[in-house]
Copies of this chain bind each other. A is one copy, B any other.
Amino acid sequence: MTIKLHCFGESGNAYKAALALQLSGLDWEPVKVDFFGGETRTPEYRASVNAMGEAPVMIDGDLRLTQSGVIQDYVSEKSGKFGGKDNAERREILRWVLWDNHKLSSMAGVTRFLMNFLPADKRPAEVIAFNQGRLKGAYAVLNDHLEGRDWIVGEGVTNADLSCCGYLYYPEAFGFDRKDWPNIDAWLTRLSNEPGWKAPYDLMPGSPADRA
């Protein structure tokens, strides 16, 4: 049975789940969610797909899972990949996935949205500047951690990498420039060299170009 992932190209959170599925080798396909058309905010979506009103949502037979980190956990269980080699690695991966949700992807996602997907006269400058300041602290933590390391945890790709990279491949400006963070830059290149890797708009349906 083919796993279905309800997702849309613009979502870095959906990308985390899609990339885990893609690199795992499991059989999967994306189903487009019309986020910008308001689909996730409809009562029907909340009732039938996700009460939190979010994407991604993964369907595998009778199982429906939401939150990218939970989908990654399931992909690891099913494929045996990306979950770490022992309990200590598993916890270290969880640490970085939580950190990413708290400090990196959450801030990057909203900042990119405000700067790119709101009309120019509705962009809250103070909020954007504040978030960018916090994000710089997060980039520094990740860049420092990657000094002398190929991957965030252990000797290969794990869900820590697949979570933290969520928003960092997107072309839209939100204050992140790979050139400013050499260890992050090298790590993103390394990850993009993994067999099967695709950029967000190539891996998932929908992109700003569709609305241009």
What residues make up the interface of A, taking CB atoms closer than 8 Å to B? Answer: 51-53, 65-70, 73-74, 91, 94-95, 97-99, 101-103, 105-106, 110, 124-127, 130, 134, 141, 144-145
Closest 9 CB pairs of A and B: A126-B126, A101-B101, A101-B102, A69-B98, A67-B95, A127-B130, A102-B106, A70-B95, A67-B98
A-B contacts, 16 listed (Cβ < 8 Å): A51-B141, A51-B144, A52-B141, A65-B95, A67-B94, A67-B95, A69-B94, A70-B94, A74-B91, A98-B101, A101-B106, A102-B106, A103-B106, A110-B134, A126-B126, A127-B130
- Report the copy number of this chain in the oligomer: 2
Contacts of A103 in B (CB 8 A): 106
Contacts of A91 in B (CB 8 A): 65, 70, 73-74
**Chain B residue at minimum C-beta to C-beta distance from A163:** B98
Contacts of A106 in B (CB 8 A): 101-103, 106
Q: Could you tell me the distance between the alpha carbons of A105 and B66 in the complex, rounded to whole angstroms?
A: 19
Contacts of A97 in B (CB 8 A): 98
**Chain B residue at minimum C-beta to C-beta distance from A107:** B106
